[in-house]
Amino acid sequence: MVSFETAKGIFETPFLDLVSKAHSVHVGNHDPNAIQVSTLLSIQTGGCCEDCAYCAQSIRNKTKTPKQVITDVDAIIEAAKQAKKLGSTRFCIGASGRSPDPQIFEVACQAITKIKKLGLETCLTMGMLDESQAAELKSHGLDYYNHNVDTSPEYYGKIITTRTLEERIQTIRLVQKHGIKVCTGGILGMGETNDDRIKMLALLANLDEHPTSISINRLIKVPGTRLEDAPEIDPFDFVRCIALARILMPKSVVRISAGRESMSDELQALCFLAGASAIFGGNKLLTASNTEVDLNLMDRLDLRLLHQHPTEH
C-alpha cells in the first residue's frame, strides 16, 4: 500500500530531481522515445442526468448541449479507419450518461467487433456497468474500459453528488474481473489542492491491480459549467502529477488527455520527460490539420508515433 505521506514525499521532491527520477523509471519500463495516440468518438453526446461540475453534457449545468446520437455502425467504422490513417492505434467510443443506454450499448458492441478487425485496439466509456454488460463487452473483444475517478475522495463530493466514488471504483473492479484493461485517472485544475491530486494518484496506485492506462486531464473550463472560473493549475504542479503517476505505477501507460490543446509545446515536452507516453490526438478529432500539429511536435522532440500497440502490463 502506498501511504499519502509516502506519495507526498515523492511529489515534493525538488522538481528537477523528481523529473529525473520519473524519467529513470520510465526508461526502465517503456520506450522513452515513442508516443501512442488514441482517438475518441462520442456516439451519444449531451442529455446526461449526472451533475459533474466540469461537464458541458450535464443537464444540470447551463451549457444546454443538445443531445446527439450516432447509431450508424458503418459511420463509426469509417471514423475508426480515418483515425488509423492519422496515426491512432486505439479507437475509443464514448457515450454520455450515468450508465449505458441499451440501444447505444448494442451499437457499441457491434462497432467494437468491427474495429478490432481493422487492427486497432478498442476502448469504451459509458459510465457504470453491471455484470452482464461487462461480460458482453468482453465477449465482443473490448480491450479497454475508461472510467475516471476524477479527484480525491475528500474533494469528490464538491464536484459530483449524483454518483459516489465507490460506485466508480466498483465499475473499475468489475471490468478488471472480466479481463478488460482499465483506463482511469482524473481531472486537474478543478479547484482541488495538491494534496487532493496526490491522494487521487495514491488511490489508483492502491487498487488491487494497477490501471493499465492512467489518464491525466487538464480541466477545460466550459462556459456555463460550475467550474468555468476555476483557477489555473500551475504547469509545474501538472508535471509533478505526471511524474508521481509514473513513479507510483511504473508499468502503467500515462496519457495526457483532455486539455492538451491549451498546453504549450514546452509543457508537453516536460510531461513526456516525466513519464507520459500517450496522448489523445488533436483538439478537434479526426482532422488532418490537428494531426499535423501533433506530428510537428513529435518530430521536433525526436519522438515517433507507435504504429503497434504498446506493451502494457
Active site residues: 48, 52, 55, 92, 123, 183, 255
* CA separation, residue 131 to residues 150, 171, 180 (Å): 23, 9, 13
With b for 16 or more beta-carbon neighbours within 10 A and e for fewer, the 43-80 pattern comes to: bbbbbbebbbbbbbbbebbebebeeebbeebeebbebb
β-strand partners of 279: 37, 256
> Residue 96, CB half-sphere, CA atoms under 13 Å: how many?
20
Q: Which grid coordinates are listed for 128? A: 457504470
Tell me the CA distances in angstroms from 142 to 91, 133, 134, 257, 284, one per residue in order: 11, 11, 9, 20, 25
**Closest C-alpha among 194, 190, 106, 102 to residue 150:** 190
What does the alpha-carbon distance between residue 88 and residue 81 come to, in Å, rounded to a whole number?
Answer: 9
Q: What are the DSSP calls for 196-265, one per residue?
A: HHHHHHHHHHTSSS--SEEEEEEP---TTSTTTTPPPPPHHHHHHHHHHHHHHSTTSEEEE-TTGGGS-H
